[in-house]
Amino acid sequence: MFNDIIRPRRLRTSLGLRKMMRETRLSTESLIWPIFIVEGENIYQEIPSLPGQYHYSPDQLYRAVERAQAHGISRLILFGLSKEKDEIGSGAWAEDGVVQQGLRQIRKLDPDMYLITDVCMCEYTSHGHCGILCGQEVDNDQTLLRLAEIAVSHARAGADMVAPSDMMDGRVAAIRKALDDNGFQNVPIMSYAAKFASSFYGPFRDAAGSAPAFGDRRSYQMDWHNSREAMRECALDVQEGADILMIKPAMSYLDLVFQCRQRFDLPVAAYAVSGEYAMMKAAAAQGLIDEYGVMCESAVSIFRAGADILITYYAPELADAIRKGDIG
């Protein structure tokens, strides 16, 4: 029997009331925008697989900084594309490496921009894998030594935070020790704690030139059937000294964002990856979805699941939506 005393619709009767009653609120401070830096000069090219995203040579990074500033974005995560690659990915920790150049350039352009760097080797190795090879396999422990070098080189070049994405066992502890030993005790680690061997990464691998030359990454990235293992990976990273835990991808893994939020006290980040972005763009281009509405709804779902931080290619547009009050 209908109880006419209880009417939840009373709290939905106007826009102002609905905004007041929102349970999930977003802030531009929680958004991180990925940037792709390439070696060379005068390079500013749209990435075909990621419409609206660009490759920037270091001298063109002012374009990315100006765009971020115009939308109120103050946090970037930097990915580097090396022109010269070798078996051990030596360009990743070179003093004049592409990310190191980018860090110094952005720091000149905007000293207050918060700069996070991806710590991995796949964009720098000739074979496209995320570590040092021993035959056809990635040598976990040899890779740790290189990842630590990369993190320290980024910190020296001006990184505010490092984010290891390789999924090697023990890499958070190795990076933490190397940072501390070199005087970077205050540089936090945002760990890709549960990074899955996902089919959603295709556009990124095109954008970053990081597809493996043989095989795949399933021996180190996670099997997407497993949630208990994901929480074990998160727990290990907590023990090793991670400051932030990341779940990647985001939308198909909201259950794990929720579990991570419930089980751990550290801040939780989620990465809305290239495939998620590209699908929305493609559907919008066909007139099948309202891109703005779907963008807002998907972002809110990630925060509603428990994320504190969202890495997203839609960061500038989401910042505008927050400012307009559509999702704030």
Q: Which is more confident, 294 or 136?
A: 294
| Alpha helices in the chain, H assignment, sequence order | 15-20, 61-71, 98-109, 140-157, 171-181, 202-208, 228-240, 254-263, 274-285, 291-305, 315-324
Q: Is residue 40 pLDDT above 80, yes or no? A: yes
**Which position among 19, 85, 248, 324 bears the catalytic label?**
248
Percent of the chain scoring above 70 in pLDDT: 95
pLDDT in tens, 178-187: 999 999 999 9
DSSP string for residues in 62-124: HHHHHHHHHHT--EEEEEEE-SS-BTT-GGGS-TT-HHHHHHHHHHHH-TT-EEEEEE-STTT
3-state class (DSSP) for residue 49: coil
What pLDDT is recorded for position 246?
98
What pLDDT is recorded for position 210?
58
pLDDT in tens, 202-249: 887 676 555 565 556 678 899 999 999 999 999 999 999 999 999 999
What pLDDT is recorded for position 122?
87
Q: Which helix (H) or strand (E) holds 270?
A: strand 268-272
Instruction: Give the chain's radius of gyration (CA, Å).
Output: 20
Q: Where do the domains of the chain lie?
A: 26-324
What pLDDT is recorded for position 213?
56
- Active-site residue flag, 248: yes
Residue type, 97: G
- Helix crossing, 254-263 with 291-305: angle to 10°? 30
Q: Enter the DSSP assignment of 131.
A: S
What pLDDT is recorded for position 134?
77
- Active-site residue flag, 195: yes
Residue with tokens 């826009």: 15
3-state class (DSSP) for residue 186: coil
**Is residue 213 within 8 Å of residue 126, measured between CB atoms?**
yes
What pLDDT is recorded for position 205?
66
**Which position among 85, 177, 195, 281 bears the catalytic label?**
195
Please tell me the distance from the alpha carbon of residue 249 to that of residue 286, in angstroms, as a whole number. Answer: 24
Give strand pairing partners of 310.
31, 270
Contact residues for 192 (Cβ-Cβ < 8 A; gap 6+) = 163, 164, 165, 166, 167, 246, 248, 271
Instruction: Check whether the bond before 249 is cis (ω within 30° of 0).
Output: yes
What pLDDT is recorded for position 208?
58
CATH number 3.20.20.70 is the correct assignment for the domain at 26-324:
yes
What pLDDT is recorded for position 163?
98
Residue with tokens 């070049």: 157
Lowest mean pLDDT among 1-10, 35-44, 142-151: 1-10
Q: Is residue 270 pLDDT above 60, yes or no? A: yes
